[in-house]
Amino acid sequence: MASAVVMDSGEKTLAGGSFFGAVRRKSEMQGAIFTDLQHAVPRKLPTHAHELPFFALLLRGYYGERYGREEKQFSPFTVMFRPAGIPHQDEIGPEGLRFFEIELRPKWQARIAECSGNLRLGCEDLRGGEMLWLTVKLFRELFGGVAADSFAVESLLAELVGHAGRLPKEKMRQSPGWLARVMEKLQVEHCERVTLDELSGEAGVHPVHLSRVFRRFVGEGIGEYVHRLRIRTACERLLALEASLSEVSIATGFADQSHFCRVFRRITGMTPQTFRKGLGCPA
């Protein structure tokens, strides 16, 4: 049951470590509270806020959130940050959901204050970037079946807070208009065979210029960006118990299962089999 106090406006503020839903597992170390949370059925939660700021990794299901006049929808393997004290209302999708929550105590809140305004205002990683894989690695470290290493947890937390604070939202506003078209094309077609010539044709610029500008504004090369998108999609497909690794590798655009497994391990820090096992799925 969620522990809460009532705000002046009438909404509830949930205390640290408290959430609506069923807590599967919980751990606290290095100034953070880690919660493996599940909602079994669809429902709309009461409007509430949280005492502590937190990162949330959506592992299963679909989720909607409303705060103020803004509404957002999230799919599996999206990671988000939410500041403390902001009233919002959540809606659980039709098949329920599962979250990995990382609440930050004052030790980390001081570091957040030193980061950019992007983090303090809330941010989402919707494209399978480094923020997603850092939270996946934390999930495995905390709930992977062996005792968590305190130093590894602290190091991953430091990376997560630092990386989120450096997300290039302001920088992207200054990017050329064609870059948004290229990124949209990759979002839609990343599991297909997309060539640099096709992308440069979409942008109307030389392939060399495209590659240089892409790295400058996105922070990584086109190939690595596509690999991250593919692995994020693969994570969703791995939730389907009937899908074999070979089927997932082909469906997400990899040449073969071996190549898929190498890239998966490089990006996530684990094999696809370990990933499935960590989520409670058979390998």
Give the tokens for residue 92. Answer: 């659980």
CB 233 within 8 A of CB 191: yes
Tally of CB atoms within 10 A around 202:
16
pTM higher than 0.85: no
Q: What is the pLDDT of residue 5?
A: 46
Question: What percent of the chain lies above the pLDDT cut of 70?
Answer: 86
Contact 52, 16 (CB under 8 A): yes
Antiparallel, parallel or unpaired: β 48-50 and 12-14 = parallel
Residue 82's Cβ-side half-sphere holds a number of Cα atoms within 13 Å equal to: 23
Residues of the chain scoring pLDDT < 70: 1-11, 68, 113-127, 165-173, 280-283
pLDDT in tens, 175-227: 898 998 999 999 999 999 889 999 999 999 999 999 999 998 888 899 999 99
